Chain A
Amino acid sequence: SAVISQKPSRDICQRGTSLTIQCQVDSQVTMMFWYRQQPGQSLTLIATANQGSEATYESGFVIDKFPISRPNLTFSTLTVSNMSPEDSSIYLCSVEEGSGRAYEQYFGPGTRLTVT
């Protein structure tokens, strides 16, 4: 299974600033995903990032707020822009392995963001 690392593991940021989260995979993958997990809640999908194309955002998430880069098959970044305290969450990246519908997703350890 893929091994995924994220940087930073946690950060405390001031409102109005931006933070870029990095996700590195130890193998080449086509699909990468970014999730948000607010305190005490389940995971919410932010966007799907394919290498070589624009990210596809879920309802309620926009590119201006959460720009995503996917420069190659092993790396992606998510930026949380113009942060407010409501952006305090854990942000996780994941990758998909498998074929057709019989796939599995593997997750990074997450980035814990606190906005003050």
Chain B
Amino acid sequence: DAKTTQPNSMESNEEEPVHLPCNHSTISGTDYIHWYRQLPSQGPEYVIHGLTSNVNNRMASLAIAEDRKSSTLILHRATLRDAAVYYCILSTSYDKVIFGPGTSLSVIP
């Protein structure tokens, strides 16, 4: 299974942009890159996904490197509600989502 590597934790100041990196050097040509986040005491929630091109939605932006071996989730303006564990996941098979340890994001007021 293709693996992802993320920093264990990151800090950001409130109202500043946050760039959450993810390395996936063994990604296959058909793997999508997914991001989920888990707020305290809640189930994970879908954030964004992409294949090759950069993607934007109401929650975040996803920047994918040209060689697809890394990607960055961008929160344009961090709020206290964005404090969560962020998971970068490759779709290693048609149906399964396998979670790694993720990045714990702290937002400082």
Q: With an 8 A cutoff between CB atoms, is B44 at the interface?
A: yes
Residues of A within 8 A of B102 (CB): 42
Name which residue of chain A comes closest to B46, CB basis: A104
Interface size class on chain A is 20 to 34
Q: With an 8 A cutoff between CB atoms, is A45 at the interface?
A: yes
Residues of B within 8 A of A109 (CB): 42-43
Name which residue of chain A comes closest to B30, CB basis: A101
C-alpha gap A102/B42 in the complex (Å): 24
Residues of B within 8 A of A105 (CB): 36, 44, 46, 97
C-alpha gap A101/B95 in the complex (Å): 8
Q: With an 8 A cutoff between CB atoms, is A92 at the interface?
A: yes
C-alpha gap A35/B43 in the complex (Å): 10
Q: With an 8 A cutoff between CB atoms, is A96 at the interface?
A: yes
C-alpha gap A43/B34 in the complex (Å): 15
Can you list 9 A-B pairs with a CB-CB distance of less than 8 A?
A33-B96, A42-B102, A45-B96, A100-B94, A101-B32, A101-B91, A102-B49, A104-B49, A107-B45
- Interface residue total, chain B, C-beta cutoff 8 A: 24
* Cross-chain contact A101 with B43 (CB below 8 angstroms): no
C-alpha gap A96/B97 in the complex (Å): 10
C-alpha gap A48/B95 in the complex (Å): 8
Residues of B within 8 A of A35 (CB): 99
> Interface residues, chain B, CB within 8 Å of chain A?
30-32, 34, 36, 42-46, 49, 51, 85, 87, 91, 94-102
* Cross-chain contact A108 with B43 (CB below 8 angstroms): yes
CB distance from B38 to the nearest CB of A (A): 8
CB distance from A52 to the nearest CB of B (A): 15
C-alpha gap A102/B33 in the complex (Å): 9
Residues of A within 8 A of B31 (CB): 101
* Cross-chain contact B45 with A31 (CB below 8 angstroms): no
Name which residue of chain B comes closest to A112, CB basis: B41
C-alpha gap A45/B102 in the complex (Å): 15
* Cross-chain contact B97 with A92 (CB below 8 angstroms): no
